[in-house]
Structure 1
């Protein structure tokens, strides 16, 4: 039972660069990656951009040895290499930090680092390990408490620990896959700033997949843009505008412009009023307490917060899916219990998170899903006894065309559609007819650039037509772009409110992180 480590701890790294040459990946007759050549020089911070399905993940998986490219080659520091597995990639100093954390929550940071090595002695000499770890942590710019269980760390600290783990394992080229999706703006800026500093000192090379233009322009030196598996553009970030990057990503599609925003009228009537509402959270251990929330006609109120702070419970309360222990919910001045009859009478519509699971019957057809709000009504609004399949199909065809839903046919099961098209179909159903109150949760999560622009424009159009919109989103950029007012939710309570136009991102981020 050896207590001696076989491999020495890595020294402060020296960055390595990579080049892909003609990288092509086919799955049967489908070409996911078509002759892609990109250069990421040592010590650079390179952004990889593209819509969902553009080939970003495929390219990264070929580099990291998860996939074996159909053709093409990879060079590390100018030497062609064969990488058959992630283990091979590691021997050349290539590592990857994923969007979702891979740490063991019950173990401390120190324990996570030590067990991540390929060679771990059967009996660990913790006195020596702690001494070595302390020396290692002094050499790198990240400051994280390694003696606390990972489950107690904030999201920003967990993400830093994921990067520290790669550095500890001796990686000097890192792929960051949407690394800030669970962080507050302040955490994201701090983490990317530290990584940027390491690239400037030549200790690290970074290839970052991101959907956030402000991160790309602030931290990256250069970018490569993929569209439908092909490289369509590359260049220095300071020589490209975000509009040019977006145009390369989506090609010749004309984006729906966000409607010009009318100011909210002083006399705008309150549509939604939530007062002194209390309800148990999902764990049953904490309470969601919404003291006062008002949304007026022709106004978008954005709810900002880090995932898991009560947004889901708030939408469930408003959808009638979570019973309350106290308080009142009023819509248009009358008590509201979220029954189907009340939502119809008070013109309340929902666009929930993950619409395929929460707003659709996946195996039913597109036509049937689009008819959920109207199938039991005659054209004159009276109750219908029989289903009118002909008019359901006719209406579905009109909505599919109006909302640009891409589907083989209105008779296809809705589960066969892409995420963006499911979202468009749900929008078509929820935004047709008069809408007084629209409750929207993370409407653009995981969607690509053109779908995002289209969906935001539709929500803005509803607002401009007089709907009161409650927008819950974990994307602060989306809230700043869309909202008239922003309210921060933290640990189940509304803790801060600001007009969106004069909002201070630092103050919002501090409240999101619970420093208030």
Structure 2
């Protein structure tokens, strides 16, 4: 094995081979005997469901973890990556899901500081000239003097990628790199990186859940399942169905019926009407700046937008978790403020983002969490007394009907997997007549089967006449489920279209703030 410090720095794309990598955390087998090969200039996708071992593998590659066993070859030479410095010396860099920029520093300062060893005196004139020359080679522009904390989420992600390119990485690991980018921004970034791989300037290992990105940019795929190698192949030989089956170990059920087979939306008055809704964020600044929307019975209205444009606040206002400062909300034709009594009277139910945090009490049992909606109503309550038997019978019925896998109804809900917490909340919210269902990023972090099941439940509610407001950062999900799509940007609804005729590029344009350009032009 060659010590990393003795390896002569090289440039251009590297070849990487991982042989029989294994990593355990106590009794938990995170990785078992996994092998992977990335050719020099390869664009390799690493796929797998949550808990499959993807993050463990890449953290071993960048030196945050040390594998229990296995071999890593860089350009056919065995190396030991004991820490992140070793990975950096080999030319291996990673763009994480969470931003690593220093908010108080400018973009230029973040890029320069990322080099590590710096002289006591930094010649900023030279550094800026060097940075300006480098930025001129990129298809997107970022203001070098802007503080990182003032950047939008998409700009921060671009700077994270720019930083690794500026450091002349030979292998770039991307962990869900486009989660905060619009479709156009994602193609811009991945297109640039794809060009670099074809020129043998860079090799890439990307973790993503978006098959569109895999089929558009990757040339090879490795799939992990439960910490083990589940399959691999090259593109375009592999289909999305092939990859999905490798990930779960069995064929995937169809999520929802084709659009032409769905019941038509009844010609009825809107069940939810929001007009000129105003609210402020936790920082005291306006977060909803006059939102207007309507949802009819038997319709799914999808709200698209880059995270942080007011969607979360909208859901919180509608479910009574945030005060509105102005405007009106009407449900079934009467004013609605999201109180518990109004939610019950108007049959308004919700599946919020991160249900374990926002819809459950983690330390309480499955029984008690499934009773949060109706513990004080018959048949669970009589004359102020709670009928424990009725409460337990209800929980048993919900668990069976919604296939909630749990050690028992008395287990704390926080001990359930993410998919089963989701099922438990869906059981509680959809086991009653529902007039209005408010849903936010309902399948984030779920496995394929849980996604299919959740989508089917939402579509069944829609087909039964429920008005569904679906907030999602996944355009593919909205295009599949929604009847209409609106785009939310900077606290406003800025665009509306039929989902059937929606154009992804046009949606992405408005998600990226295209309405501002339109206003200026006009």
Which whole-Å deviations, capped at 9, do the CAs of 1:165-221 have from their partners, x for residues lacking one?
Answer: 122223210110000111111111111111101001100000000000001011111
Which stretch shifts more, 455-464 or 244-253?
244-253
After TM superposition, give the deviation of residue 260 of structure 1 in Å. Answer: 4.7
Map 1:336-351; keep pairs closer than 5 Å: 336-351=336-351
Q: Secondary structure of 2:24's match?
A: strand
Q: Secondary structure of 1:320's match?
A: coil
| Mapped contact 1:35–1:72 kept (Cα < 8 A) | yes
After TM superposition, give the deviation of residue 131 of structure 1 in Å. Answer: 2.6
1:54 is matched with which residue?
A: 52
Which stretch shifts more, 94-103 or 11-20?
11-20
2-structure distance, mates of 1:514, 1:246: 34
2-structure distance, mates of 1:138, 1:489: 32
2-structure distance, mates of 1:89, 1:38: 17
Among candidates 99, 109, 127, match of residue 129 of structure 1:
127
| Mapped contact 1:377–1:384 kept (Cα < 8 A) | no
2-structure distance, mates of 1:258, 1:109: 44
2-structure distance, mates of 1:256, 1:475: 18
Map 1:23-102; keep pairs closer than 5 Å: 23-102=21-100
After TM superposition, give the deviation of residue 11 of structure 1 in Å. Answer: 11
2:376 is matched with which residue?
A: 376
After TM superposition, give the deviation of residue 136 of structure 1 in Å. Answer: 3.7
Which stretch shifts more, 479-488 or 278-287?
278-287
1:6 is matched with which residue?
A: none
Which stretch shifts more, 287-296 or 471-480?
287-296
Map 1:246-395; keep pairs closer than 5 Å: 246-252=244-250, 255=253, 257-261=255-259, 262-286=262-286, 288-379=288-379, 384-395=383-394
Which whole-Å deviations, capped at 9, do the CAs of 1:124-157 have from their partners, x for residues lacking one?
Answer: 1112222333344455666433232223334333
Change (3 A) 1:485 1:171: same
2-structure distance, mates of 1:289, 1:155: 20
2-structure distance, mates of 1:276, 1:257: 35
Which whole-Å deviations, capped at 9, do the CAs of 1:426-458 have from their partners, x for residues lacking one?
Answer: 111001121110000111122222222211111
Q: Secondary structure of 2:444's match?
A: coil
Which whole-Å deviations, capped at 9, do the CAs of 1:368-406 have from their partners, x for residues lacking one?
Answer: 100111222223x98552211122112212211221222
Q: Secondary structure of 1:238's match?
A: coil
2:419 is matched with which residue?
A: 420
1:149 is matched with which residue?
A: 147
| Mapped contact 1:156–1:188 kept (Cα < 8 A) | no
After TM superposition, give the deviation of residue 509 of structure 1 in Å. Answer: 1.1
Q: Secondary structure of 1:502's match?
A: coil
Q: Secondary structure of 1:258's match?
A: coil
1:15 is matched with which residue?
A: 13
Are 1:174 and 2:172 counterparts?
A: yes
Unaligned segments of structure 1, at least 5 residues? 1-9
Change (3 A) 1:361 1:15: same
2:4 is matched with which residue?
A: none
1:481 is matched with which residue?
A: 480
1:223 is matched with which residue?
A: 221
Q: Secondary structure of 2:177's match?
A: coil
| Mapped contact 1:46–1:221 kept (Cα < 8 A) | yes
After TM superposition, give the deviation of residue 321 of structure 1 in Å. Answer: 2.2
Change (3 A) 1:140 1:330: closer
After TM superposition, give the deviation of residue 71 of structure 1 in Å. Answer: 1.2
Among candidates 108, 111, 115, match of residue 110 of structure 1:
108
Q: Secondary structure of 2:315's match?
A: helix
1-structure distance, mates of 2:436, 2:138: 51
2-structure distance, mates of 1:140, 1:329: 46
Change (3 A) 1:421 1:382: closer
After TM superposition, give the deviation of residue 312 of structure 1 in Å. Answer: 1.4
1:120 is matched with which residue?
A: 118
1:3 is matched with which residue?
A: none
1-structure distance, mates of 2:457, 2:356: 19
| Mapped contact 2:413–2:421 kept (Cα < 8 A) | yes
Which whole-Å deviations, capped at 9, do the CAs of 1:346-365 have from their partners, x for residues lacking one?
Answer: 11101111111111111110
2-structure distance, mates of 1:168, 1:254: 41
After TM superposition, give the deviation of residue 257 of structure 1 in Å. Answer: 3.2
| Mapped contact 1:178–1:209 kept (Cα < 8 A) | yes
After TM superposition, give the deviation of residue 252 of structure 1 in Å. Answer: 2.5
Normalised by the size of structure 2, how large is the TM-score? 0.93
Which stretch shifts more, 281-290 or 49-58?
281-290
Change (3 A) 1:48 1:56: same
2:186 is matched with which residue?
A: 188
After TM superposition, give the deviation of residue 304 of structure 1 in Å. Answer: 0.8
Change (3 A) 1:286 1:257: closer
Q: Secondary structure of 1:192's match?
A: helix
Which whole-Å deviations, capped at 9, do the CAs of 1:19-69 have from their partners, x for residues lacking one?
Answer: 100111112222111111110111010000000001111111112221111
